[in-house]
Amino acid sequence: MGLDISNNSGPNLATASHLSPDWEPGYNRLMLQPEGLLYEDAQLQVGLRSEYRAEVGCIILYFSNKSSAPIHSFTTTIDNPNSPAASLKTDIKGLPDTTVQPGSQTSQMIMFEAKSVFAQPPTIRVSYIAGALQAITLQLPVLLHKYMEGAVLSGEDFFKRWKQIGGAPREAQKIFTGFDVSGDVTRKFLLGFKWGVLDGVDPNVRNFVGATVLHTSGGKFGCLLRLEPNAGNKMYRLTIRATDETVPPILMKSMEERLKLPYPT
């Protein structure tokens, strides 16, 4: 259980192609933080708490009824676009209450196990009756970097491993615009993405280098990073190397998307 359980005869409304308006602010915030507000509208508030230990992630969703009337027929559907057997396994631990009284809350726990490298975050569709049938589809901030654990390396060890991994195909590099390329904000972004920031390693003090270990049940992967901010034109040059060639492009995509936006307050 925990995969798409919608009616196969119609469109799967739990997929990312049906995401609701205003799903992005909470998702972008929780890309970098373990808990907080995922979504809110006039009737419903969705909070999220998460904890990751090695290859296993635990997500708890809190659904609060903000209205003055009960919510009925409350149901959730998870869509996991990744292979559950090969990349990301979903395990639903109980279902939320079907009725939520005004001012009260129900919750749901979901376990996500990284079997191997995965590229797509899962989504959840929440439907309920409050006068009429209501539904929202949200993207869950379950991403590859959540399974990373920052590492500490000496400068000598960093450059030795950097050379060992080498360039393509185990490297991704891109130049792109950043919202705020100042040193303090850039450091917070890197820590939010679970990189261990290695100070004093790069000859240029404005640059950042980082190391981390990606945990999956199929094995661990070492990942290294060099991030070069250009304050004059608000650009970054980001280089990521990893011991598995599937990892750098996935991390690159997430980091590029997020570094173009403000850091969450």
| Alpha-carbon span 103 to 107, nearest angstrom | 14
| pLDDT for the residue 265 | 79
| pLDDT for the residue 15 | 92
User: What domain range includes position 233?
Assistant: 146-259
CA distances 103 to 19, 98, 134, Å, are 26, 15, 18
| 27 and 88 both lie in a single domain | yes
- Tens of pLDDT along 142-161? 999 999 999 999 999 999 99
Last residue of a domain, one of 142, 177, 212: 142
The phi and psi torsions of 61 (rounded to 5 degrees) equal -105, 135
- Residue 214 domain flag: yes
- Residue 1 domain flag: no
- Tens of pLDDT along 91-106? 999 899 999 999 999 9
Q: Is the peptide bond before 169 cis (omega within 30 degrees of 0)?
A: yes
Give the alpha-carbon dihedral of 202, 226, 243, 248, to 10 degrees: 180
- What pTM was computed for the model? 0.93
| 180 and 108 both lie in a single domain | no
Low-confidence ranges of the chain (pLDDT < 70): 1-9
- The answer to whether the beta carbons of residues 191 and 204 sit under 8 Å apart is no
| pLDDT for the residue 9 | 53
How many folded domains does the chain comprise? 2
Q: Which two tokens stand for residue 29?
A: 């915030």
Nearest CA to 176 out of 261, 248, 119 is that of 261
